[in-house]
């Protein structure tokens, strides 16, 4: 058995069914062995697309996503996708080819130290030295990627090791997955006491709930306590958007009811969150009257930014079950629900053009709970978070911590391979679309029924909005008025497309988007001056929300 064959056998034992990748010299032995493997290889058109597709696959399925590239530029092109997975705690294993071991450190052709380059953005890295190590390395890489706080792992495989024939190749020893720590009983008692004493408790939920497989326990906790809920971008869907206790996303582009609830609360039950700056605004003024119970699997996050009055480190499911207590907070709940109704969005914008928030709301309602929405990064990303309703976390895929433009299309491809029968919609902006537009070829090659809603404002909308508000309208490098004809561009890849510009065209566009059996691109022209509201200025409290027209 060669090293390449040993690698693939080990991946098969881990249940890998699909790898997203792009070949090159140093990884060729693995591609040769792939011809005899049941694992399906998906040829993307850029290595960044491979890493982001593996990310989308992992988020949609809960499994470990796998991507592969050659040495040098192939490996470095994976870096953005690896960093994206690291920031959002997504389990991905990235496999890179490397120059032969005798050439490592000699500046050989297509040699880079990908082990060193990625060290700050992976949970762990492996440089394979011997074929016999491969089964154990692969098994350990998958264990690390999916245990504790999820994240990416790198396996760097020199070409000579991949080609080397081993007389025997050991099997990976079966090690049990690390059991999640059980929160200390004394801390659970202290947390329960704070809950009972609280008059204005609020659940602040993030993506950690999804990766801890604690969604069911979280919903039971809310159903029992009946306390209101605000969510980070990554936490959307942990509680169904239709639940009356869900107040919306908090933070820089959070909804008013959510931000005001945080600022008025006397107890934050922070569950699987990082107290990220986009969520907290000015940290010193975030939830100024609230004590904090912080539930998390990662000790590094607890009290990192906001000191926890009660830290509950370990298994979120155990903590949530222990804290599921009936609470007498009727007045507080009524106040939050009154604010939710009073600050409800007005979707009747005085315009004949397409109003993005209304378009997205109507699309979300028509698409139903089984549709997976995959967002690129920009204004449209925030509109999706504000105005689309999600019933489960796997229904909303978005680049949160890294904010990587170009995420949407390759991640949608990954999600579609993870759920071949599902409807997958990529909501893109004109700026983001052109970052990885080459992956339209991947959509066409594999006959994927991915739908693309392209909201085109002929600018880098979020950057333009900030320049308008914070830089006195001095616009610099945001004009995209020379965009290509996106309909003709999609059609050149063999993908049907059409354009809409008026609000009366929206119902028909939604109907066709949802009924088209194969891939489709809907090019929606929107107002280049449209902004995302509310907006918390940087360095300000979340209560200092700016609001503009078309609210």
Catalytic residues: 47, 109-110, 159, 462
Are the CB atoms for 66 and 18 separated by under 8 Å?
A: yes
For residue 316, give the nearest of 324, 325, 304 by alpha carbon. 324
Are the CB atoms for 455 and 380 separated by under 8 Å?
A: yes
Residue 524: half-sphere exposure toward Cβ, Cα within 13 Å: 31
Q: Give the DSSP letter string of 179-241.
A: PPPPPPHHHHHHHHHHHHH-SSEEEEE-THHHHTT-HHHHHHHHHHH---EEE-TTTTTSS-T
* Residue 3 DSSP one-character state: H
Helix and strand totals (H; E) in the chain: 23, 18
Q: Is 325 helix (H, G, I), strand (E, B) or coil?
A: coil
The three-state DSSP-derived secondary structure of 379-409 is HHHHHHHHHCCCCCHHHEECCCCCCCCCCHH
- Between CA 319 and CA 44 the distance in angstroms is 42
Bridge partners of 96?
69, 156
Q: Is 440 helix (H, G, I), strand (E, B) or coil?
A: helix
Other CB atoms within 10 A of residue 168 CB: 7
4, two tokens: 């390449």
Helices (H), ranges, 88-207 = 114-117, 134-146, 159-163, 185-197
Cis? peptide before 26, omega within 30° of 0: no
Contacts of 477-484 with C-beta under 8 Å, sequence gap 24+, read 480/430, 480/431, 483/430, 483/434, 483/456, 483/458, 484/434
Other CB atoms within 10 A of residue 29 CB: 21
């Amino acid at each position: 058995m060669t090293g390449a064959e040993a690698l693939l056998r080990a991946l098969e034992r881990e249940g890998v069914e699909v790898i997203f990748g792009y070949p090159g010299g140093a990884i060729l032995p693995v591609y040769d062995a792939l011809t005899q493997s049941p694992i399906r290889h998906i040829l993307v058109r850029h290595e960044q697309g491979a890493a982001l597709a593996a990310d989308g696959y992992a988020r949609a399925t809960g499994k470990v996503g796998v991507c592969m590239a050659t040495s040098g530029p192939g490996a470095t092109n994976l870096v953005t996708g690896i960093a994206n997975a690291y920031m959002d705690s997504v389990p991905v294993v990235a496999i890179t080819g490397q120059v032969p071991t005798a050439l490592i450190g000699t500046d050989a052709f297509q040699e880079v130290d990908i082990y060193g380059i990625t060290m700050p953005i992976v949970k762990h890295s492996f440089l394979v030295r011997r074929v016999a190590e491969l089964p154990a390395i692969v098994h350990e890489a998958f264990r690390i990627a999916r245990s504790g706080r999820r994240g990416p792992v790198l396996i760097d495989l020199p070409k000579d090791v991949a080609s080397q024939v081993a007389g025997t190749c050991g099997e990976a020893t079966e090690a049990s997955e690390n059991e999640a720590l059980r929160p200390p009983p004394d801390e659970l008692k202290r947390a329960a006491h704070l809950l009972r004493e609280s008059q204005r408790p609020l659940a602040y939920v993030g993506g950690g709930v999804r990766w801890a497989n604690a969604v069911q326990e979280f919903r039971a906790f809310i159903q029992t306590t009946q306390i209101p809920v605000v969510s980070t971008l990554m936490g959307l869907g942990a509680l169904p958007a239709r639940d009356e206790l869900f107040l919306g996303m908090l933070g820089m582009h959070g909804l008013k009811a959510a931000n005001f609830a945080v600022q008025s609360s006397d107890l934050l039950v922070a569950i699987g969150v990082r107290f990220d700056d986009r969520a907290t605004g000015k940290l010193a003024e975030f939830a100024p009257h609230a004590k904090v119970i912080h539930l998390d699997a990662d000790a590094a996050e607890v009290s990192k930014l906001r000191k926890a009055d009660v830290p509950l480190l370990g298994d979120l499911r155990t903590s949530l079950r222990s804290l599921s207590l009936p609470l007498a907070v009727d007045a507080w709940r009524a106040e939050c629900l009154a604010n939710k109704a009073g600050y409800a969005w007005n979707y009747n914008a005085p315009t004949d053009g397409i109003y993005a928030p209304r378009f997205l709301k109507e699309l979300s309602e028509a698409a139903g709970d089984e549709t997976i929405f995959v967002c690129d990064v920009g204004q449209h990303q925030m509109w999706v978070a504000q105005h689309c309703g999600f019933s489960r976390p796997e229904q909303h895929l978005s680049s949160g911590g890294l904010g990587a433009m170009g995420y949407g299309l390759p991640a949608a491809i990954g999600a579609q391979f993870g759920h071949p029968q599902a409807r997958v919609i990529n909501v893109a902006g004109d700026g983001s679309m052109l970052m990885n537009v080459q992956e339209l070829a991947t959509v066409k090659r594999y006959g994927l029924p991915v739908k693309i809603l392209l909201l085109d404002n002929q600018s880098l909308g979020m950057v333009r909005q900030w320049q308008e508000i914070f830089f006195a309208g001095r616009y610099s490098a945001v004009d995209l008025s020379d965009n290509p004809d996106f309909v003709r561009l999609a059609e050149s890849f063999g993908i049907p497309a059409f354009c809409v510009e008026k609000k009366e065209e929206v119902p028909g566009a939604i109907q066709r988007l949802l009924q088209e059996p194969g891939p489709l691109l809907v090019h929606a022209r929107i107002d280049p001056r449209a902004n995302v509201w509310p907006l918390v200025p940087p360095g300000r409290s979340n209560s200092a929300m700016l609001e503009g027209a078309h609210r």
